[in-house]
Amino acid sequence: MVSLDDPAVRAAYDEEPLPRMSFGDHLDELRSRLIKALLAVVVAIVALLPFKGPVQDIIVEPYRLQWRNGFTNWVAQLEQREVAGSLDEEGREFLAYCRKHRDAIFAGTKEYTYLLKEKTGYPVPYSLFATGGIEDMFAFMWASLIFALVLASPVVIWQVWAFLAAGLYARERAVFYRYFPLMLVLFTAGVLFGYFVALPYSLGFLIGMMDPAQVNAILSVGQFLNLLLALTAAMGLVFQLPLVMVALQRVGLVTHRAFVKNWRLTVLILFIAAAVFTPPEPVSMLLMSMPMLLLYGLGLGLTWMGRRHEAPAVEVAT
C-alpha cells in the first residue's frame, strides 16, 4: 500500500507540475468562483423568504430553553412556599394558573403568551423584544443570510476549494481530504453544543443575576442574535482542539509525549476555563468542561496515531 508519508512518494507528489496561470487568469478564475458562490447564496436567501416564522423559531429556541428552565424553577419556588404556608393569595393564583396551563406553555400552544408575565408572576418575558421598528426585520435578514450560507455551503465550499486546489500539490490535497471531514464534524458539534447547552445556560445565569425589583430581564432580538452568533461560532472554533493538537504535532512544536506528560495542567486549564464561562455552580461547569475533556482525549488519540511522523528529539550533550 502506498503511503503519502513515505519520503519518496511525497517527493514524487511534490514534483508534480502545477498548471501555470497568469495574474489575469487568477483574477478571472476568482471572479468566476465568486459569482457562482454568490448566486448559490442568493438563491438560498430567496428560498428562505417565505419561511420567516420557522427561521425565527429556530433562532429563538435557545431563549425558550432557558425560559422553560427558569419557569420550572419559579413554579418549584411557589410550591415550596405553598407547603411552608407562606404563599399569599396572589401567589396562589399564580401557582394555580401555572399548574393549569403548564403543558400548553411548554408545548408552545398557549395563546396570548405576551400575558404570561402577568398571569404567572414569572418576571421574565416569554418573547424577545424589538427596540426599533426595523430591528425584527433586520435580525431576520441577518438570520436568513446565515441560513442561506448553511444551505449553500456545499456549493460555496466547493468553489473555494476548486480555486485553492489549483495551486496545491497532490500531497497537500490529500491532507485536506483527510482532515476536512473531521473539521466539519467538530465545527458542527461545537455549534450545536453552543446552541442547545452553552447559550441557554449562559442566558439563565445572566437573567438569574438580575433582581426583578430593580431590573427587568428584557432582551432584544438583535442583542440575542449577536450573542447567538458569537457563542455558537466560538464553540465551533473551540471544538477544533483535536485538529490544533495534530497540527502542532505535525509541525514539530509539541509531541504526543508532551501532550500526555502535561495532561494534569491541561485538565486544570480546561476546568478553569469552564468555571469562568459558566454560572458559579458545578452542573454548568461540568456541562462545559466534559466536552473539552473529550476533545482533549480525541486529540491524544489522533496524536498517538501520528506519533511515528514526529521529528526525532534532539539530545543536547552535557
Report if pTM > 0.95. no
Q: Are residues 50 and 135 in the same domain?
A: yes
pLDDT of residue 282: 63
Query: SS3 of 279, please?
Result: coil
Buried b (16+ CB within 10 A) or exposed e, 135-161: bbeebbeebbebbbeebbeebbeebeb
Q: Are residues 168 and 115 in the same domain?
A: yes
Q: Are residues 66 and 210 in the same domain?
A: yes
Domain coverage including residue 284: 240-308
Q: Are residues 116 and 201 in the same domain?
A: yes
Q: Are residues 282 and 162 in the same domain?
A: no
Q: What's the CA gap between 245 and 202, in Å, rounded? A: 28
Look up residue 251 and give its amino acid.
V
Please identify, among 207, 238, 269, the residue that sits at the C-terminal boundary of a domain: 238
- State the cell numbers at 43: 438563491
151-194 pLDDT, tens digit each: 888 888 888 888 877 777 777 778 778 888 888 899 889 889 88
- The answer to whether residue 2 sits within a structural domain is no
Q: Are residues 210 and 267 in the same domain?
A: no
Please identify, among 238, 255, 281, the residue that sits at the C-terminal boundary of a domain: 238
Buried b (16+ CB within 10 A) or exposed e, 275-285: bebbbeeeebb
Determine contact, residues 87/78, Cβ cutoff 8 Å.
yes
pLDDT of residue 316: 41
- The answer to whether residue 274 sits within a structural domain is yes
Q: Which parts of the chain have pLDDT scores under 50? A: 1-2, 8-9, 12-13, 313-318
Buried b (16+ CB within 10 A) or exposed e, 205-225: bebeeeeeeeeebebbbbebb
- The answer to whether residue 155 sits within a structural domain is yes
